[in-house]
Chain A
Amino acid sequence: SAVISQKPSRDICQRGTSLTIQCQVDSQVTMMFWYRQQPGQSLTLIATANQGSEATYESGFVIDKFPISRPNLTFSTLTVSNMSPEDSSIYLCSAPTGFGEFFGPGTRLTVL
């Protein structure tokens, strides 16, 4: 399995500001994914973080709003830009391994 950590675990932010979430994996992985989980909902994929190339975004998500970095095979960041209350969610990173896909503990974001 892979051990995945995220920082921060939670934050309360003001409208219009930006927050960068960090995701660290304890082993090198080819792919990393970023998900959003709105209250009471399932997980929705935001984008695939590709090492050495631009992230691949799902329909409804754009780079200007959710810029992603993937500087190496163990680390990625997701920035939630120009936040509004609708961005209040849990943001999760994940990494697939040969044994399945493992998730970080999530970052709970509240936007006031």
Chain B
Amino acid sequence: NAGVMQNPRHLVRRRGQEARLRCSPMKGHSHVYWYRQLPEEGLKFMVYLQKENIIDESGMPKERFSAEFPKEGPSILRIQQVVRGDSAAYFCASSPRLFSGTPGELFFGEGSRLTVL
């Protein structure tokens, strides 16, 4: 049973380019969460999605960032016109149902590390 799969694992972009990060949840999981880990910072919640729905995007920056989880295919976190401050590790997590805080329900991927030159 494959875990949460993220790709690319490493991505380098120049300022002004677009970055697309993909996340395939664990089999049987329909809830996806994105977190960002800035250098020297803890992981911070960005957005929670179910298939075809954004449920909670309260942690997303107001501009340039968007996320989707289409009916078919992986969830995608898109960053337009990247700036150096977007350099971070972006982690995706999934759960089989809304995460209730019960241990063992939430699984993280290995992250995508974005470097903006």
Partners in one complex: no
B→A interface (CB under 8 Å):
none
